[in-house]
Structure 1
Amino acid sequence: MDDFTVTTPLWRWQSATAPAAWYFVTIAGDVADAIRVAAISGQWLDGRKGFGSARVDVQIGDTRWKTSVFPHRESGGWLLPIKAAVRKAEGIAEGDAVTVTVSL
Structure 2
Amino acid sequence: MELAFTGQVIEWRGPSPYYFVPVPEEESADIREVASLATYGWGVIPVDARIGAIEFTTSLFPKDGHYLLPLKAAVRKPQGLSAGDEVAIELTVRL
Q: The residue matched to 1:52 in structure 2 has which SS?
A: coil
RMSD after superposition: 1.3
Q: Which has the higher strand share?
A: 2
Alignment-derived partner of residue 11 in structure 2: 12
Cα offset, 1:51, TM superposition: 2.4
d(CA) in 2 for partners of 1:23 and 1:11? Answer: 6
Q: Secondary structure at the match of 1:51?
A: coil
Aligned partners of 2:18 and 2:41: how far apart in 1?
A: 18
Contact 2:35–2:43 at 8 Å: present in 1 too?
no
The gaps in structure 2 that reach 5 residues or longer are: none
Query: How far off its partner does 1:57 sit?
Result: 0.7
Determine the C-alpha separation between the residues in 2 that align with 1:28 and 1:50. 22
TM-score by length of 1: 0.81
Q: Which residue of 2 aligns with 1:31?
A: 27
Do the aligned partners of 2:7 and 2:24 also contact (CA within 8 Å) in 1?
Answer: no
Q: CA deviation at 1:55?
A: 0.5
Kindly provide the amino acid, as one letter, of the partner of residue 7 in structure 1. T
Whole-Å separation in 1 of the counterparts to 2:5 and 2:18: 20
TM-score (structure 2 length as normaliser): 0.88
Task: Detail structure 1 runs of 4+ shifted over 6 Å in the superposition.
Answer: none
- Aligned-pair identity in percent equals 34
Q: Where do residues 44-59 of structure 1 align in structure 2 (5 Å cutoff)?
A: 44=38, 48-59=39-50
Match of 1:64?
55
